[in-house]
Amino acid sequence: MVEQPSPKVRPSSRTVLLIELALAVGGFAIGTGEFAIMGLMPNVAHGLGITEPQVGHVISAYALGVVVGAPILAVLGAKLLRRHLLLLLMAFFALGNFASAMAPDYHSMLIYRFIAGLPHGAYFGVAAIVAAGMVPPNQRAKAVSRVMLGLTVAMLIGNPVATLIGQMLDWRWAFALVGAIALLTVLLVYIYLPVNREEKRSDPLLELRAFNRAQVWLALAISSVGFAGMFCVFSYLAPTMLEVTQAHPTWIPFALAAFGLGGILGNMFGGWLYDRMQFRSVAWLLAWSALVTLIFPIAAQSLWTVLPATLLVGTMVSLSPALQTRLMDVAADAQTLAAASNHAAFNVANALGPWLGGMAITAGFGWTSTGYVGAITAVIGLLVFFYAWNLDGKQTHGATAQSDH
């Protein structure tokens, strides 16, 4: 195996592109595996002889796996070379999805989806560190966004294709397809990501100590709350279109595609903006999130406005590369743990948003109340940002004053 060049010598643009492509294919597999079950909810319910709310528990089991697995696997794998850790994580993800495809009953499906979720956050965290390390400092966020592009392309293409395959053949084939894409990722990473023996190894105990930083936890809090609005609106998009917009069910896939396209655009823009504005970009992205979720209840009244509004909601994904890079900036010696934990926070938002939206709908505020709930969570995220920004300023001022003495 060819050795990676010295850290001072950056790989060629072609090598960087191939490595980013390999890592993005893994993101495509994870994104398809995470969201395809939502389109196949009736099929899975019928196949396992359970109710659709029980399928919702299966979805929650995966999210719980992400939250649990991200910090644990990041710490356990801290001493491994990143190439080896990526190979192990994606092989583990493939195994979890193949097991899901063969699950005989509800309880085993719960266990297998939990297992499949375990490597999710650690994979994205390590992939982000690898991508950021191959480019100049002022291009790191864009590199992270290119790796995350696999996740957003899955929202646009992977999920509809997996849903179609599951409907035409059997829902189990959708998970088998995800497992196959995960194995393809293992092969691509093995071929294109060279071994770097000079890579600095992480100390698990050092990572845990360094992780105990206020700015790390504040960034995770922004991710957990600021993202919740996007999931709040997206989770109830289909019934909102049916009950409020009065759209025919055949329009729902178009709305999902619009959301996916918005995710791709937002992902690239978020990385671009962070490279130019650094942490300040998060404030603008949260303000944008509040605006588009406030627009959604009004736009939901008409088919011709709900589709572009759904695209705008998808652009809230722009927070992902920005917050991912922010975590790497403030994590010091806890790079792997912090980068992986961002995806645990992302899945906390995935649980928090639909729960808050469901409470508002149940309380009688209507389907479009998800937009107002989403705006509130974005504003709360903005308040956390201002606290973090103020704390950052005090720490910088204190360090400057100390150096003057």
Residue 169 lies in a domain: yes
Same domain for 355 and 274? Answer: yes
**Nearest residue to 257 (alpha-carbon basis) of 152, 156, 150:** 156
Alpha helices, H only, 40-117: 41-48, 52-76, 82-101, 106-117
Domain boundary among 201, 231, 260: 201
Concatenated DSSP letters of 137-161: GGGHHHHHHHHHHHHHHIIIIIHHH
Same domain for 100 and 187? Answer: yes
**Nearest residue to 372 (alpha-carbon basis) of 286, 292, 317:** 292
Question: How many other CB atoms are found less than 10 A from the CB of residue 148?
Answer: 28
**What is the dihedral angle through the alpha carbons of 190, 145, 354, 287, rounded to the nearest 10 degrees?**
170
Alpha carbon distance 244, 240 (integer Å): 5
Question: How many other CB atoms are found less than 10 A from the CB of residue 113?
Answer: 27
Residue 3 lies in a domain: no
Q: What is the CATH number of the domain that holds 63?
A: 1.20.1250.20
Burial class (CB in 10 A: 0-12, 13-18, 19+), 168: exposed
Domain boundary among 173, 201, 229: 201
Distances (CA, A) of 93 to 32, 89, 111, 154: 12, 6, 13, 16
pLDDT for the residue numbered 5 = 41
Same domain for 190 and 236? Answer: no
Residue 334 lies in a domain: yes
- Residue 254: domain span: 206-405
* Per-position b or e across 317-336, b if 16+ CB within 10 A of its CB: bbbbbbbbbbbbbbbbbbbb
pLDDT for the residue numbered 3 = 39
Domain boundary among 201, 222, 246: 201
Alpha helices, H only, 278-317: 280-299, 303-314
Q: What is the number of domains present in the chain?
A: 2
Residue 291 lies in a domain: yes
Same domain for 182 and 222? Answer: no
Task: Specify whether the CB–CB gap between 171 and 103 falls below 8 A.
Answer: no
pTM exceeding the 0.85 threshold for the entire prediction: no
Residue 2 lies in a domain: no
Same domain for 248 and 281? Answer: yes
Residue 127 lies in a domain: yes
Distance of CA 399 to the CA centre of its chain: 34
Q: Which of the residues in the chain have pLDDT under 70?
A: 1-11, 38-39, 41, 52-53, 56, 197-211, 333-336, 394-405
Backbone angles phi, psi at 71, to 5 degrees: -70, -40
pLDDT for the residue numbered 297 = 94
Alpha carbon distance 316, 227 (integer Å): 7
Task: Specify whether the CB–CB gap between 266 and 318 falls below 8 A.
Answer: yes
Q: Which residue has the tokens 């396209």?
A: 261
Alpha carbon distance 178, 191 (integer Å): 20
What SS3 class is residue 195?
A: strand
Alpha carbon distance 161, 140 (integer Å): 31
Same domain for 114 and 65? Answer: yes
Same domain for 164 and 235? Answer: no
Residue 1 lies in a domain: no
Same domain for 278 and 294? Answer: yes
Same domain for 45 and 170? Answer: yes
Same domain for 282 and 255? Answer: yes
Same domain for 163 and 89? Answer: yes
Residue 67 lies in a domain: yes
- Reading the block at residue 124, the tokens are 């994205």
Same domain for 394 and 254? Answer: yes
Q: Which residue has the tokens 């009065």?
A: 246
Please write the tens of the pLDDT for every residue from 129-145: 788 777 777 777 777 77
Distance of CA 324 to the CA centre of its chain: 10
Please write the tens of the pLDDT for every residue from 154-180: 877 887 788 778 878 888 999 999 999
